[in-house]
Amino acid sequence: MKNIPMDRKSNPASKSMAEELFSTAAILIGGRSRRMGFDKFQIQIDQQKLLSRLADQLGQMFTDVMIVANNQEIELPAGTRLIHDIYPGLGPMAGIHAALMHATSSYAYVLACDMPRISSDYIAQLKHAIGEQTVDFCCCRNQGALEPFHAFYHKKAAPRIARRLETGELKARHILSRLSGLVLSVEAFVPRGQVADIFLNINTPDDLARYLADPDGRSNHETNPRNQHHGLVRIGQNNPDRKIDSDSSSAANPGRDPQTRWS
């Protein structure tokens, strides 16, 4: 992983490069919302639609914010644009594919409309992990599983995702295993004791009530040392079935950069 100079933000050339790489974000809406009882993009928090709230927050960090819909026509939040799935009805990876096809930057940051928490620090650290590399995606591993949302995807991954969708392979973890990417453990960049669970999604009225009771997610996070994986690993398209284990690159080799390159 490349070190980024501390004064990079003050460098106009670096700022221009960052915009070229990371100016696009996408919010995916879709699904049947059967457990919620109504379309989840209609969820309201503090008398504001969650979709508008997310768009406002992303608009402070990205110059291009897209709403990606299956085939719905919706009232767009201010400053956003509407994109429709190219492969409608094929799930969230179809939404990610559509976002990449319309992204104005090399990478697009993607989350779902029912995920109420956004962390600018988390996003900044994902960008730092990517640096100037070209990878298909950069995501987090949370409680042992890859998180396909709150992740960056590169436009070059779009044709590969399309090929998997066309063969009927729809599950995110299966498609990600066919791509090359960077995977960070949640413990690698979230300070202990200050964890806001950004991976929460609101599927039911009870989920919404729990979120409203604890919007920062700090009271219900427990760390199990046995399940911790620290550091950053790189997974490669040429070895998709190999188990990802960041402990092998950081804990076992404490003097090395905690990044493993697989070929």
Q: Give the pLDDT confidence of 191-250 residue by residue, as tens digits.
A: 543 444 788 888 888 888 888 887 876 555 444 433 444 466 776 654 433 333 333 333
Q: What is the pLDDT of residue 226?
A: 37
Domains of the chain, first to last? 9-248 (3.90.550.10)
Q: For strands 137-142 and 181-185, give the pairing.
A: parallel
pLDDT in tens, 141-188: 888 889 999 999 999 999 999 999 999 999 998 999 999 999 988 777
Tokens 């070229």 -> residue:
20
CB atoms under 10 Å from CB of 60, counted, come to 9
- DSSP per-residue letters across 138-189: EEEEETTEEEEEEEEEEGGGHHHHHHHHHTT---HHHHHTTS-EEEEEGGGT
Expressed in percent and rounded to 5, the helix, strand and coil fractions of the chain are 30, 20, 50
**Which one is predicted more confidently, 259 or 180?**
180
CA dist 263 and 49 (Å) reads 45
Q: What is the pLDDT of residue 5?
A: 37
Question: Which of 189, 192, 251 is CA-nearest to residue 223?
Answer: 192
Q: What is the pLDDT of residue 144?
A: 83
* 24 contact partners, CB below 8 Å, separation of at least 6: 62, 64, 65, 66, 99, 103, 104, 105, 107, 108, 109
pLDDT in tens, 75-121: 899 999 999 999 999 999 999 999 999 999 999 999 999 999 999 98
The 8-class DSSP code of residue 225 comes to G
Determine the angle formed by the axes of helices 92-102 and 158-166, rounding to 10 degrees.
150
**Which one is predicted more confidently, 61 or 244?**
61
Q: What is the pLDDT of residue 228?
A: 42
pLDDT, average across residues 43-64: 92
Q: What is the pLDDT of residue 6?
A: 34
Q: What is the pLDDT of residue 213?
A: 83
Model confidence band, residue 41 (pLDDT cutoffs 50, 70, 90) = confident
- Mean predicted lDDT score pLDDT of the chain: 77
Tokens 């990876």 -> residue:
93
**Which one is predicted more confidently, 54 or 144?**
54
CA dist 132 and 71 (Å) reads 35
CA dist 170 and 89 (Å) reads 10
* 225 contact partners, CB below 8 Å, separation of at least 6: none
Q: What is the pLDDT of residue 39?
A: 72
CA dist 135 and 148 (Å) reads 15
| CA distances for 43 relative to 35, 55, 77, 197, 210, angstroms | 13, 14, 13, 19, 14
Q: What percent of the chain has pLDDT over 70?
A: 70
CA dist 153 and 99 (Å) reads 9
Q: What is the pLDDT of residue 249?
A: 30
Q: What is the pLDDT of residue 254?
A: 28
CA dist 185 and 173 (Å) reads 16
Q: Is 60 exceeded by the pLDDT of residue 37?
A: no
CA dist 68 and 110 (Å) reads 10
Rg value, the chain, Cα: 18
Q: Which of 12-21, 134-143, 234-243 has the lowest mean pLDDT?
A: 234-243
pLDDT in tens, 64-78: 999 999 866 788 999
Q: Is 50 exceeded by the pLDDT of residue 252?
A: no
